[in-house]
Amino acid sequence: MASVAIVGVSKRFGDTAVLAPTDLVIEDGEFVVIVGPSGCGKSTLLRLIAGLETPTSGRILIDGRDVTDAAPADRGLAMVFQSYALYPHLSVAENIGFPLKVAKRPKAEIRARVAEVAASLDLTALLGRRPAALSGGQRQRVSIARAIVRQPDVLLLDEPLSNLDAELRGRMRHEFARLHGSLGATMIYVTHDQLEAMTLANRIVVMNAGVIEQVGSPLELYDDPATLHVARAIGSPG
Ligand code: ADP
Ligand code: MG
């Protein structure tokens, strides 16, 4: 587990300000859900934390350590993408074990850890398959397995369930709650889904047009939304 501090972080792409200077502190072990309309900067914020984008201004601290200039692999975090981003030519076992292989862990250790993570996500029977031979839900579970194989302190998830059908989303929602408990990682989770936000979050961050409009517990935002937009995003009567 680790805290994440975003201090005056902003992002421009050319002339376009995508994220206004933003401050946000996420506590050790917290499950924070980020909601907001398409294009408001949710993925950009996650990518900045991950180190996949460079901030235009500001600093990012993980567990008190300034990682603004650190490579993604040196930040103690992992990211799950909406598109799964699996390697099509690798088996499920090779996909899951890939981060350990890159980290040059011994083969026996990789095998044992892949088996353990696969078992925890009900993937043991699928370890020899290629991604093309999996359902959407199975692919997403593989991408989650790959993300947690190195036991990250911080797990970033960008609309991880948006490509799945409603029933599977419901099951995976429970899976994420369980994962948060067992992994003990700080989780930062972007979604469009009110139910996911309300049931998973310790705190919800509501974004709109590159600005954080409100941060609070699901109940606080529901009972006392700061703006009409927050009320709509949370589904509160306003
Ligand atoms: P969200 O995830 O909330 O839908 P994004 O963070 O993906 O929003 O995008 C926020 C804004 O930044 C959008 O207007 C998008 O078009 C723009 N944007 C994102 N990435 C880039 C990029 N690499 N170059 C230029 N504009 C970008
Ligand atoms: Mg996005």
User: pLDDT at position 43, please?
Assistant: 97
In single-letter form, the type of residue at position 226 comes to A
Q: In the numeric block, which tokens belong to residue 53? A: 């984008």
Q: How much is the mean pLDDT over the chain?
A: 94
pLDDT by residue (tens digit) across 176-209? 998 899 888 999 999 988 999 999 999 999 999 9
- The ipTM value here is 0.98
pLDDT by residue (tens digit) across 121-161? 999 999 999 999 999 989 999 999 999 999 999 999 999 99
Indicate the top mutation candidate among 19, 44, 208 to test ligand 1's pocket, ranked by most ligand atoms within 8 A of CB: 44
Residue 237 predicted with pLDDT over 80: no
Nearest 10 degrees: CA dihedral of 22, 27, 31, 36? -10
The tally of CA atoms less than 13 A away on the side-chain side of residue 225 is 15
Residue 99 predicted with pLDDT over 80: yes
Tokens 């994962």 identify what position? Answer: 179
Report the nearest atom of ligand 1 relative to the CA of 14: 25
Q: In the numeric block, which tokens belong to residue 153? A: 């302190």
Assess contact for 70 and 51: CB atoms under 8 A: yes
pLDDT by residue (tens digit) across 22-52? 999 999 999 999 999 999 999 999 999 999 9
